[in-house]
């Protein structure tokens, strides 16, 4: 039987089991049809954030940001480039700290932009400040290699 990984849909919150060898083929949510590991950055809400952090079996890098934050807006295209580069082995998502202050408080976000790398329900590492795509990719790959 093929090894599967659990991925939480950022749109509807449904947990999906995807065969690992099909990750590169653009798997879609069985409930709503949204792409699960397509190299795009997905916006999380409170429910999908908590469920994805807890249940995703792929590493998940979350950008905690706010619309009024200049460095956050400047980093957004770089974060999107990193998402394309890291897919389908790592998923990248954003959480608006202004819309979800309780989650940012619980995650102990002290400044934004803040990148937090999660794996199997645990925080692996964090990186503060706006970064170019190459730095984001190196950060994730360095921490994934150390945990492999």
Supply the pLDDT for residue 1. Answer: 55
- Name the pairing type of β-strands 114-119 and 4-8: unpaired
Residues 103-138 have pLDDT tens digits of 999 999 999 999 999 998 899 999 999 999 999 999
The domain segmentation of the chain, as residue ranges, is: 38-147
Query: Hey, what CATH class is 38-147 in?
Result: alpha beta
DSSP E strands: which ranges in 9-49? 15-19, 42-44
Which residues carry out catalysis? 69, 72
| pLDDT tens-digit readout, 17-72 | 999 999 988 899 999 999 998 999 999 998 999 999 999 999 999 999 999 999 99
pTM exceeds 0.85: yes
Cα separations in angstroms, 39 against 1, 23, 52, 111:
26, 11, 16, 26
Q: What is the mean pLDDT of residues 69-95?
A: 96
- pLDDT confidence of 144, banded at 50, 70, 90? confident
């Amino acid at each position: 039987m093929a090894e599967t990984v659990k991925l939480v849909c950022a749109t509807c919150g449904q947990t999906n089991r995807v065969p690992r060898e099909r990750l590169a083929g653009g798997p879609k949510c069985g409930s709503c049809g949204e792409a699960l590991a397509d190299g795009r950055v997905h916006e999380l809400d409170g429910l999908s954030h908590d469920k994805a952090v807890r249940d995703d079996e792929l590493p998940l890098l979350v950008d905690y940001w706010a619309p009024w934050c200049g460095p956050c807006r400047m980093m957004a295209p770089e974060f999107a480039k990193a998402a394309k580069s890291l897919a389908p082995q790592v998923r990248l998502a954003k959480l608006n700290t202004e819309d979800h202050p309780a989650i940012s408080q619980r995650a102990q976000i002290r400044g934004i932009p803040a990148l937090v790398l999660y794996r199997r329900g645990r925080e692996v590492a964090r990186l503060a400040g706006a970064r170019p795509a190459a730095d984001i990719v190196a950060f994730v790959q360095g921490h994934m290699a150390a945990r492999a």
